[in-house]
Amino acid sequence: MSPSLKEQYDEQGYVIVPGLVPPAHLEGLEAACARAIARTRSGEWPHRRTVGRQFPPYGDGDPDSWGVQHVMHPDLGEPAFARWYTSDALVNVVKELLGCQGDDLQMELFNLLINPTSNSFALRWHRDDVREDATEEEEREALKIWHHGTQWNTALRTDSCLYVVPGSHKVPRTPEQRAHSCTLDPPKDPRAMPGAVQVVLQPGDTVFYNNNILHCATYDAHQPRITLHACMGEVRGGAARARNILQHGLSWMKEERFARTLDERGRRMLERIVRLQESVNGDVGYSLTN
Ligand SMILES: O=C(O)CCC(=O)C(=O)O
């Protein structure tokens, strides 16, 4: 018997699921992505990942972008994104991977990963919520915490940017892996990392991953990338999830006009993340440094 999606996800730290964008959503998403990317590249959409900055805060330093942030934001005016984020096809897989009910799910990040246009770029090897200079013991402790959430990339164009080390979401780096990842510099060759595999997605494929898996990514200015990049969590994550999610700046989600763009399921998911934001006192800070 082949392993279930959840078994593969728990064991390897990632799993690829084909065909999670139902045909009824595809045309709307394609058109919404094209408009969002054009507005980002022209400088009109200010929420973006700038080339040269690997993690939040992304700042404004470079006109070139490798990501569009907050695609459900009402100012972007693209309801296709929230419609898909709250769709049965997607939510059913997330429930299976997290082992939870729909009533536990909270709305989190939804961004877009794109190719820069003038400068190729790369993200260093990292875990999203464990610093690269953590000691082996600190890393072991951090990886014991289950964050009650999953992150995914859904490719609308063939995408081979992401590299992961299967199984590394559960164990500290070996000394050799540490040597490849204890730097703020992007890797010259991601394949040099012991255990690394390149994740190749065909259009329509989704890779779900534990964002504390050891991973990096390369962005080729000449290879079109249109990849939906999002995460969803469940309320049991509480404070363990707060920094990871809220460091991206989600106060706009509290605006009543955003709730009005959502269906019933979306509004309930939104209420849960707003409760998390309200429960956090003060600045959550950032997981990683640039
Ligand atoms: O580009 C990717 O696929 C990965 C992005 C990533 O690692 C991140 O946002 O932390």
The CATH number that applies at residue 177 is 2.60.120.620
Please tell me the predicted confidence (pLDDT) of residue 244.
Answer: 76
Residue 287 pLDDT grade (very low, low, confident, very high; cuts 50, 70, 90): low
Report which of residues 68 and 119 the model is more confident about.
68
Specify whether the CB–CB gap between 284 and 242 falls below 8 A: yes
Q: Is 136 a member of any domain?
A: yes
- What value does the mean pLDDT take over residues 220-239? 93
pLDDT at 285 over 70: no
Measured from CB, residues less than 6 Å from any atom of ligand 1 are 113, 123, 128, 153, 161-162, 215, 217
Residue 93 pLDDT grade (very low, low, confident, very high; cuts 50, 70, 90): very high
Q: Is 96 a member of any domain?
A: yes
Residues of the chain with pLDDT > 70: what percent?
A: 97
Q: Is 93 a member of any domain?
A: yes
| Alpha carbon nearest to ligand 1 atom 1, residue | 217
DSSP reduced 3-state for 54 = coil
Specify whether the CB–CB gap between 59 and 243 falls below 8 A: no
Specify whether the CB–CB gap between 163 and 209 falls below 8 A: no
Specify whether the CB–CB gap between 204 and 80 falls below 8 A: no
Q: Is 32 a member of any domain?
A: yes
Angle between helices 88-98 and 5-12 (to 10 degrees): 60
pLDDT at 92 over 70: yes
pLDDT at 289 over 70: no
Q: Which two tokens stand for residue 70?
A: 């907050």
**Ligand 1 pocket check: which of 70, 121, 123 to mutate, most ligand atoms within 8 Å of Cβ?**
123
Determine the distance separating the centroid of ligand 1 and the alpha carbon of 148, expressed in angstroms. Answer: 19
pLDDT at 6 over 90: yes
How many domains does the chain fold into?
Answer: 1
Could you tell me the CA-to-CA distances from 265 to 32, 148, 235 in Å, in that order?
21, 19, 15
Q: Is 286 a member of any domain?
A: no
d(CA 247, CA 231): 14
| Alpha carbon nearest to ligand 1 atom 3, residue | 162
User: Could you list the residue range(s) of the whole structural domain that residue 107 is in?
Assistant: 5-279
Nearest to 225 by CA among 120, 164, 152, 155: 155
Residue 143: its H or E element: helix 136-144
Q: Is 21 a member of any domain?
A: yes
Report which of residues 40 and 129 the model is more confident about.
40
Q: Is 55 a member of any domain?
A: yes
pLDDT at 283 over 70: no
Residue 164 pLDDT grade (very low, low, confident, very high; cuts 50, 70, 90): very high
Q: Is 284 a member of any domain?
A: no
